[in-house]
């Protein structure tokens, strides 16, 4: 099972340590448990670690648990949330639900309810992660192009086939235009008209699709993958990958779920 990071936030040491001990006794070494005595401390931890599940008290000095969740959501953290509180007022629970909190537990937290909530929340996080990586592996724009390819002019279809066969080497629009007997400028117009993206954008997407497949299904060094994806330098490939995916190739490989190889194999 892939290791999950859980962050427990509570200004009361007894409550915080109690939840931690319960999870430590339950887990089979697949949880890394972090603790924080304040929302500010928790926020700093979440900025450094990829937290899968945040378990937080609501009422804490200086910043509440709900404010903490709002700040993490503003930062686009991919985290599930469980709120724990001794206060059962409806407005707290209502606000928590509005923030997308997985569940709301009242203190003193029952061990059974805590473990059930943690189990379900981690399963939900794993499923969201899997779907997120499916989206990253399957370029929806390329899928749209493939789906609509039967309606393309013959010259465009031939151009796409030529790119798919030669994208791993140096390739430009003049070469492809020559291969399909068209003027480069005219081919550029056809690409934009029928694919909705430029020639260079299509080549980039096709190369990155292949690179992602190699990252998730092999142990090849990033430099080798860059070369096999059609890029002459690893430095440029890494920059381009990060510009398009938001993370580096190494991070993409590191944070991929266990089933990524099967996802990738089926997309290639």
The CATH number for 106's domain is 3.40.50.2300
Residues 98 and 152 in one domain: no
Q: Which of 100, 135, 170 is the last residue of a domain?
A: 135
Average pLDDT over residues 177-186: 94
214: left (phi over 0), alpha (psi -120 to 50) or beta: alpha
Average pLDDT over residues 195-205: 92
Residues 65 and 179 in one domain: no
Q: Which of 55-64, 96-105, 177-186, 256-265 has the weakest average pLDDT?
A: 256-265
Check if the beta carbon of residue 75 is closer than 8 Å to that of residue 43. no
Residues 123 and 186 in one domain: no
Residues 101 and 177 in one domain: no
pLDDT at 267: 40
Residues 117 and 13 in one domain: yes
Q: Residue 221 maps to which CATH number?
A: 1.10.10.60
Among 101, 193, 110, which residue's Cα sits nearest to residue 145?
A: 193
pLDDT at 28: 64
Work out the pLDDT band at 266, boundaries 50, 70, 90.
very low
Cα–Cα distance for residue pair 142/189, rounded to 1 Å:
18
Residues 117 and 223 in one domain: no
Residues 48 and 110 in one domain: yes
Residues 25 and 123 in one domain: yes
pLDDT at 252: 84
10 Å CB burial of residue 9 (0-12, 13-18, 19+) is buried
Work out the pLDDT band at 78, boundaries 50, 70, 90.
confident
Cα–Cα distance for residue pair 159/167, rounded to 1 Å:
11
Residues 37 and 102 in one domain: yes
Residues 8 and 130 in one domain: yes
Q: Which of 119, 135, 151 is the last residue of a domain?
A: 135
Q: Which of 98, 118, 135 is the last residue of a domain?
A: 135
Most confident range (mean pLDDT) of 36-40, 62-66, 228-232 is 36-40
Tally of domains in the chain: 2
User: What DSSP character marks residue 77?
Assistant: -
The pTM (predicted TM-score) of the whole model is 0.61
pLDDT at 263: 38
pLDDT at 260: 40
The proportion of the chain whose per-residue pLDDT surpasses 90, expressed as a percent, equals 62
Domain that holds residue 208: 138-267
Cβ of 209: how many Cβ atoms within 10 Å?
20
Query: Where are the strands (E) in the chain, listed by range?
Result: 4-9, 31-36, 53-57, 80-85, 103-106
pLDDT at 137: 64
Work out the pLDDT band at 211, boundaries 50, 70, 90.
very high
pLDDT at 133: 65
Residues 119 and 165 in one domain: no
pLDDT at 145: 80
Residue 255 in this model has a pLDDT that exceeds 70: no
Residues 262 and 197 in one domain: yes
Average pLDDT, the chain: 87
Residue 98 in this model has a pLDDT that exceeds 60: yes
Work out the pLDDT band at 80, boundaries 50, 70, 90.
very high
Among 221, 230, 228, 268, which residue's Cα sits nearest to residue 249?
A: 221
Per-residue pLDDT reduced to its tens digit, 143-176: 778 777 778 899 999 999 999 999 999 899 999 9
Cβ of 229: how many Cβ atoms within 10 Å?
24
């Amino acid at each position: 099972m892939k290791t999950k990071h859980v962050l427990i936030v509570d200004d009361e040491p007894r409550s915080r340590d109690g939840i931690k001990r319960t999870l430590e006794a339950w887990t089979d070494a697949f949880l890394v448990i972090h603790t924080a005595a304040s929302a500010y401390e928790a926020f700093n931890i979440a900025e450094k670690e990829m937290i899968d599940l945040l378990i937080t008290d609501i009422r804490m000095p200086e910043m509440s648990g709900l404010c903490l969740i709002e700040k993490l959501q503003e930062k686009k953290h991919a985290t599930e949330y469980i709120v724990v509180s001794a206060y059962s007022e409806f407005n707290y629970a209502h606000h928590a639900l509005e923030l997308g909190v997985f569940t709301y537990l009242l203190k003193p937290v029952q061990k059974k309810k805590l473990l059930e909530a943690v189990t379900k929340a981690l399963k939900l996080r794993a499923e969201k992660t899997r779907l997120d990586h499916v989206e990253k592996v399957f370029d929806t724009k390329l899928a749209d192009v493939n789906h609509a390819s039967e309606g393309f002019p013959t010259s465009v279809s031939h151009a796409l086939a030529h790119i798919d066969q030669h994208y791993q080497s140096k390739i430009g629009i003049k070469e492809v235009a020559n291969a399909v007997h068209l003027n480069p400028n005219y081919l550029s117009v056809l690409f934009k008209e029928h694919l909705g993206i430029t020639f260079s954008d299509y080549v980039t997407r096709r190369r990155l699709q292949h690179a992602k497949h190699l990252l998730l299904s092999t142990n090849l060094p990033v430099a080798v993958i860059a070369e096999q994806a059609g890029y002459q330098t690893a430095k440029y490939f890494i920059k381009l990958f990060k510009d398009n995916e938001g993370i580096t190739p190494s991070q993409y490989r590191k944070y991929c779920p266990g089933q990524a190889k099967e996802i990738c194999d089926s997309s290639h």
